[in-house]
Structure 1
Amino acid sequence: MDNKKTITIIILGLVAMVGILLFLFLPSKSHLANIDFYVYDTNDNFHYEVNERLELLVNDTAAIKGKRLIWEMGNGDTLMRNTDVSYTYRKAGKYLITLKIDGKHSVNKYIKVISGLEHEAIDSIPRINGVSEGYQGEELVFSAEGYGMDTWLWEFGESGTVDAYEQQVVYSYDIPGEYTISLQTNTTKYPVKHRITILPRFEKAEELVTVDSLVLVQNDIKKHLQAIADAKVSQKSVYYEHTNYIRNKYFCIDADQVVVVINDEKYNDFNGYCQGLHFLESNRKKRVSIDDVKIDDLNCVKSIHVTQSYIEK
């Protein structure tokens, strides 16, 4: 009988010890699972470039306090520090950055580092910014976006010849129909194309409805972009909820083909732009305020012009 009591006591003691160990270690492991990091480009142009100082920011500084962090930069270099982590790549390429925490947990992230020539090439690709649907006799505004251009030859497909020679032009169609706009610049070998549908002349009441609908869509996109900017890095479900909403409701092409123009001077695809908005929450110095949003087409958004500013924390 005494042996049974002794065995029972030993078993209960072991169960208690296991419970204590689970209590001590499982919360820590669960907490580590929420840790993520962001690679922040210091020149704010949404590109990682050769010889640019990149800052590595952890989303939860409290969770890593007192822990041993090792950063593997994907090129053989290793950094061992918890705060004020920065690094500069000397060669272009795709790198896998790995953050190891106490040798028990790791977080991986791929980044692409581009050369100065690649950056120039990306920003110099001309794009036509303008609506994809208009009305007979309506004055439509089109502009060429991109760097390095100094000549512009516009053909709007109605006259059969060159119609304008400026970077930004105003054109009105006399006959309804489907047209292809062509833009030839000094930076392109072949013209850039843009399709547009011209509808019969509209009444004033219809014009008001169209304008109101456009404003509603722009304000809706603005609201969801601000929600992405305000979400914490750990709130991944919030990030995906708002990006998927915009993509599914307003895009007719892949999100990585939708061009986002920031403050009329910087360019990004939609996915890259939203990632930048989301991870800026990790930056203790500033937050993003979405001040205004303009789109090119009510029914099929292909480009978004965002006016944004920074709010110092």
Structure 2
Amino acid sequence: MGMFVFGKLKGYFDIKVVLVFLSVFLLSSFVIIINLNNDEECRVREFKVEATSLEVGELIIFSDVSQNAHSWRWYFGDNSQISFRSKVGHIFMKEGEYLIRLIVNNECSIEKLVTIVPKKNAIDNSKMPVFSVASHVLEGEKIDFEDRTEGAKSWEWRFGESGKVDSFDEKCSYMFTSPGVKSISLIVNNDYKHVTVKEIFVVPKKEEKIKIEKYKSDIPHNPFQNIPDAPPEDVNAPVKVSKGPEIGGTDDGKLESLLESVAKGKTSYDNFLKHFCKYNLPIVIYKDAKTSTLREFFNAVKKKGDRVKDVRIQKDTEDCIRVINVDKKHKHYF
């Protein structure tokens, strides 16, 4: 009787062990199959870099030639926009080392270090494409471009948003869909060695919201009661720009020093205004495309008491500062 019970338990134990080993085998096989599939998807190990030279201002073509690829994301390491095509053109505006990263099919990641060297002087300036561009344009506003290069027979316009050639015509129009600094490049007659690159600042289109206060009395709301009186001038005469006494000598470096003085509480808002045009105050635009008024910017610097780094200004033809670009080094700054 005792031997019968022991044999029965032993048979039961053997079945359990077999089931456990079988489960482990099936699970291991499943993991191996998944890894094999992933290896199949991530066989991309290289992408092509084509350029006459890796110099500042030169057009560089990056392309993925792998098979079975259906999505791409290019990161160029210079704070430019992500490109989503298999073949893209890019121009680096500063020398240095840039880590180029390509993600294929949201799975495969390939990186390559590209060194951009200073532009050599062995460039024939007479062969450079000739065109003009405004200093800034409003987001969503159409702007016209025209090439004035002598002997030009073909054109390649790139406006810094799509990562591809945007127009092949001598005259063209474009509407920027996102704010920030955009690099506009033009190549004529397929001469990739001579590329003219100019920058334009796209001012974000800020939606105006009208706040209507609720009144408890029966007096009708007057929408014009808080509007200040216009300057006492002839309504048919153009508005005269009133300049502060310090405006002529204000540049990027001087504005950084001035903001440092504001942060230390040594400069009042009235003295701050001496560097700007009275009826044409600039808009402040941060690196993340957020905007603020000049007064809000002054109060934020004064309240935090920290130094603002990397400030760049844009002036108009009357030497008035129209845009202040601020590169926030600390996310918690404002």
The normalised TM-score by structure 1 is 0.31
TM-score normalized with structure 2 length: 0.29
Larger gyration radius, structure 1 or structure 2: 2
Higher relative contact order (CA closer than 8 Å, sequence separation 6+): 1
Q: Which has the higher strand share?
A: 1
